[in-house]
């Protein structure tokens, strides 16, 4: 029984070691190259220089980053808008929002629950004077 436990522990240790070595290798691969911005760029920036492009650092290109073509970005935005509109109008619609803003829909302001108010919080209710009958 003790031998079975020892074998299982050795097998688990070997698996953990494989995973750790694989992770270390992937990390080393990601860390190749030089930092961006470089120390020289940082020193120049401190003295007032500005940069629009950095030196290449030797890493792979970021698929989500980098300069974008404005025409492609505009086309993608239009496609996303068309896709959203195909699903139906937004809720609430712009007409409903306009009606709310114009005061056509009665809204009411909600206050926090009584337990959430500080103990020194006081409310006053004002009533309009009743008309005198003569």
Q: Which two tokens stand for residue 89?
A: 């109008």
- pLDDT tens figures, 44-84: 888 988 877 777 776 666 666 666 678 888 888 899 888 88
DSSP string of 69-133, one letter each residue: -HHHHHHHHHHHHHHHHHT---SS-HHHHHHHHTT-S-----PPPGGGS-TT-------PPPPPP
Q: State what percent of residues in the chain have pLDDT above 90.
A: 16
**pLDDT > 70? residue 129:** no
Q: Which two tokens stand for residue 13?
A: 């240790």
Q: Over the stretch 1-55, which tens digit does the pLDDT of each residue have? A: 678 889 999 999 999 999 999 999 988 887 777 766 778 888 988 898 887 777 7
pTM more than 0.85? no
Reported as type and span, the H/E element at residue 8 is helix 2-30
Residue 134, helix vs strand vs coil: coil
């Amino acid at each position: 029984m003790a031998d079975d436990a020892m074998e299982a522990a050795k097998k688990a240790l070997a698996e953990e070691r494989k995973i750790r070595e694989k992770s270390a290798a992937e990390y080393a691969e990601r860390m190749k190259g030089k930092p961006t911005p470089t120390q020289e760029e940082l020193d120049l920036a401190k003295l007032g220089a500005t940069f629009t492009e950095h030196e290449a650092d030797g890493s792979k290109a970021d698929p989500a980053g980098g300069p974008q073509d404005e025409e492609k970005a505009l086309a993608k935005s239009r496609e996303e808008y068309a896709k959203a509109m195909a699903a139906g109008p937004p809720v609430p619609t712009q007409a409903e929002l306009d009606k709310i803003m114009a005061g056509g829909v009665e809204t009411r302001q909600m206050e926090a629950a009584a337990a959430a108010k500080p103990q020194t919080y006081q409310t006053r209710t004002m009533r309009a004077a009743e008309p005198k009958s003569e």
